[in-house]
């Protein structure tokens, strides 16, 4: 049985709705906020600082610039250089994310002070 006399029982659910429009309300462009907060510039600076820090730390560890490390450890499959390269990638990613986030927060603070 349908509603009010059974006339629309065979109609699909979507067609039984009246005055539903497929129009999307006007929204401001999302790219404006990204540009206002200088996110692309902040991301570039974050990636550069992350990569720079990771390369320096990797070179200090692998080339033993502080001298040989005490104790012996086994590094399966990849060897010490491979494992420290993976750790350098994690350090670079985390540093890039942190620097980008901090710079974006600073940009947001400056923008809020201007308004």
Each residue's pLDDT expressed in tens, for the chain with a length of 115 residues:
555 555 555 555 555 555 566 676 677 677 888 888 899 999 999 999 999 999 998 888 878 777 766 666 777 888 878 888 999 999 999 999 999 999 999 999 999 998 7
Return the pLDDT at 110. Answer: 92
pLDDT score at 70: 63
pTM of the model: 0.65
**Buried b / exposed e across 4-24, counting CB within 10 Å, b at 16+?**
eeeeeeeeeeeeeeeeeeeee
The Cα–Cα gap between 62 and 44 comes to 27
Q: What's the pLDDT at 28?
A: 67
Burial (CB count within 10 angstroms: exposed 0-12, middle 13-18, buried 19+), residue 2: exposed
Residue with tokens 């929204």: 27
What are the residue ranges spanned by the domains of the chain? 81-115
Please list the alpha-helical segments (H only) found in 18-78.
31-36, 39-62
- How many Cβ atoms are within 10 Å of 60's Cβ, its own excluded? 11
Dmax over CA atoms of the chain, in Å, equals 90
């Amino acid at each position: 049985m349908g509603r009010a006399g059974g006339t629309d029982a065979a109609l699909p659910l979507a067609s039984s709705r009246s005055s539903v429009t497929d129009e999307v309300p006007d929204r401001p462009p999302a790219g404006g906020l990204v540009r206002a907060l200088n996110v692309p510039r902040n991301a570039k600076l974050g990636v550069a600082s992350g990569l720079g820090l990771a390369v320096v730390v990797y070179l200090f560890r692998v080339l033993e610039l502080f001298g040989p490390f005490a104790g012996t450890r086994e590094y399966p499959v990849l060897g010490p250089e491979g494992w420290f390269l993976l750790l350098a990638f994690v350090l670079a990613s985390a540093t890039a994310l942190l620097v980008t986030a901090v710079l974006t927060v600073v940009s947001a603070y400056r923008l809020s002070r201007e308004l």
